Amino acid sequence: MKIELERRGDCQIIRLADDLRFWKQPELEGKLLAAFDAALAGPPREVVLNLLEVLRIDSRGIATLVRLPIRCAQRSIGLKVVMPRGVPRDAIKHIHIFDPWPTFEDESSALGSSAQ
């Protein structure tokens, strides 16, 4: 798993890549939750969660991702999601966890769209 945080003004970008299979790897789940906490410090006006480079995900990875929209909603922080491709996209879309938030095909589209 790779995590990258970037702040652009009032927007926090969280880029996740590679493997989000956390089953039997609680240390990776903890690392991602710590990154979420760091990203929401401030707090930003909005968060762009970029999942484009996620190659694999399991149910525990999805359960961990669910925590970000909850934390954003509790703090009145807007959320935009750049969806992954392939099987990870299908798994996330099947569960509908990001249905209430705008989703995008790439990061530049998410950053270029007006706040919702």
Q: Where are the beta strands (DSSP E) in 25-92?
A: 46-57, 78-82
C-alpha 1/C-alpha 18 separation (Å) is 5
What percent of the chain is modeled with pLDDT above 70?
A: 97
Per domain, the residue ranges of the chain are 2-107
State the helix-helix crossing angle for 59-74 and 86-95, rounded to 10 degrees: 60
Query: What's the confidence (pLDDT) of residue 25?
Result: 87
Residue 62 has pLDDT above 70, yes or no: yes
Query: What's the confidence (pLDDT) of residue 115?
Result: 47
CATH class for domain 2-107? Answer: alpha beta
pLDDT-derived band of residue 113, with 50, 70 and 90 as boundaries? confident
**What is the pLDDT of the chain when averaged over all its residues?**
94
Cβ atoms of 60 and 27 within 8 Å: the answer is no
